[in-house]
Amino acid sequence: MVGGVDLPPVAPGSALSGMPVNHDYYKILGIPRSAKGDDIKKAYRRLARRHHPDVNPGDADSEERFKRISEAFEILSDPKKREFYDRFGYYSDQPAAGAAPSAAGFDFSNFGAGNFRDILSDLFNNLKGDASRASHQSARGADIESPLTLTFEEAMAGATKKIEVERGEKCFTCNGLGVGADRAACAICKGKGVFLTRESVSVKMPAGVETGSRVRVPGKGHGASPGNSAGDLYIIANVGSHPYFKRQGDNIYCTVPITVPEAALGAKIEVPTVDGRALLRIPPGTQSGQKFRLRERGAPSLRARGMRGDQFVEVKITLPKVISEETKDLLQRFARHNPENPRAEMGLD
């Protein structure tokens, strides 16, 4: 069985013996007739690794199967041969003596012992390369994650911070081998090839980081065995709160109090932003809870460099305090001159 398909026995007078025969090469490789070149190559390599005579020494059946698999690959991997095969159901480039073109045999001379060795060498070199790459990846030093607390202001503006990291470093005495020249365990790293050390690492946190943001510092993770790279250090930001700013995505929100005259008559007031103070125009008749937007005064965006969010300012009207009889009199006079009822829409007095 090859690729989940039972191969028929090689009959006398078949393509393998020099006479044409209607082998289903697609079935032999276990691929559909619409298979692309890469699919054909993958199927061949998978089956060749399993059935090559050098992998199954002394197994005549495996050798015959390998020849059949190689024959199928030879035809289907060549566009011209495949076109001929798809049209006539077989392929031939050597007409048999005294035979009609339809009786031509398949030339298997290209699959001599030398070619088998070349194919096997290519297959096992690929396997060796895959194993080498996997080994290299697994031998890479482990990554380290370390939390870092930032103030709200530091997160908005960006900051360079120094942190202490405990990391495994390649032993300088044995060069990470774990043994010395006498093949005895290294006295410094106790045969482990690495030893723990504390290192001060400078980390540049970009403007706009928020809680959970990860900043990568290449090569500052744990050390690795000789010939392999160290892991990376990942800094996990933990941003503190602010007394009046709230962040949602890249936008900043805050609430600012205004007086009754400012709301009624309109005014220009100062409001805080992450960059400092800014002027905000309050139009006449502003209601408590009304929101105003300051474009591009929000947090710097980590997703779109050079862009910023917006800041939204919600105003809250504060009632005047009665601090004297004069203030009380003014409010009473105001009430007489403005006999409005804000509950009228509810049908209330």
Torsion of CA 83, 89, 91, 96, to 10 degrees: -140
- Which of 245, 169, 163 has its CA nearest to residue 205? 163
- Which of 293, 313, 215, 300 has its CA nearest to residue 249? 300
pLDDT in tens, 261-308: 999 999 999 999 999 999 999 999 999 999 999 999 999 999 888 899
pLDDT in tens, 215-225: 999 999 988 76
Helix (H) or strand (E) segment spanning residue 276: strand 276-282
Do 91 and 75 meet the contact criterion of CB atoms below 8 Å apart? yes
pLDDT in tens, 294-347: 999 999 999 888 899 999 999 999 998 999 999 899 989 988 998 888 888 898
Kindly state the average pLDDT of the residues 108-126: 50
Kindly state the average pLDDT of the residues 10-16: 37
Do 232 and 325 meet the contact criterion of CB atoms below 8 Å apart? no
What domains does the chain contain, in order, with CATH numbers?
15-136 (1.10.287.110), 144-239 (2.60.260.20), 252-320 (2.60.260.20)
pLDDT at 61: 83
CA gap 56, 71 in Å, rounded: 19
Q: Categorize the per-residue pLDDT at 106 as very low, low, confident or very high, splitting at 50, 70 and 90.
A: very low
Helix (H) or strand (E) segment spanning residue 60: helix 60-76
Supply 279's token pair.
């002027």
Is 34 exposed, middle or buried, given 0-12, 13-18 or 19+ CB atoms closer than 10 A? Answer: exposed
pTM value is 0.56
